[in-house]
Amino acid sequence: MIWQLDLMLLTFVTICAIAAITVKDLLSAVVLLGAFSFFMCLLWNEMGSVDVAFTEAAVGAGVSTAFFVAAVYNMTRRTKD
């Protein structure tokens, strides 16, 4: 474990999470959520949990992003609130 790399990845995760809930465009929120999943995957990989990181890469960054894009295309692009 390298604590500098840990801190950098944690900063990216926090930035992506805060940006994903504040942005108004839903498609941008989906892309930011995919980036959040990817940084979470890197963080888990760095902490030595390869199996969890692999699951996050396959499910979080891969399939669920496609699900969210499919859901966004069937509704309005921007949030009301």
Partner 1 sequence: MIERFEDVIIQTLCRFLVPFMQIYALYVIAHGHSSPGGGFQGGCILAASFVLLVIAFDLKEAKRRMTEKLNTIFTSLGVFIYAGTGWVCLILGGNFLDYSKLSKILPVDSVHARYHGMLYIEIGVGIGVMACMISIFLNLVTRGRHEEALEDKDLWNT
Tokens coding 51: 């199996």
- Residues making up the chain, counted from first to last: 81
Residue written as token pair 């969890």: 52
Q: How far is the CB of 13 from partner 1 (least distance, A)?
A: 21
Residues that bind partner 1 (CB under 8 A): 50-51, 54-55, 58-59, 62-63, 66-67, 69-71, 73-74
> Closer CB to partner 1, residue 7 or residue 67?
67
Q: Shortest Cβ distance from residue 7 to partner 1 (Å)?
A: 25
Helix pair 3-22, 26-46: axis angle to 10 deg = 160
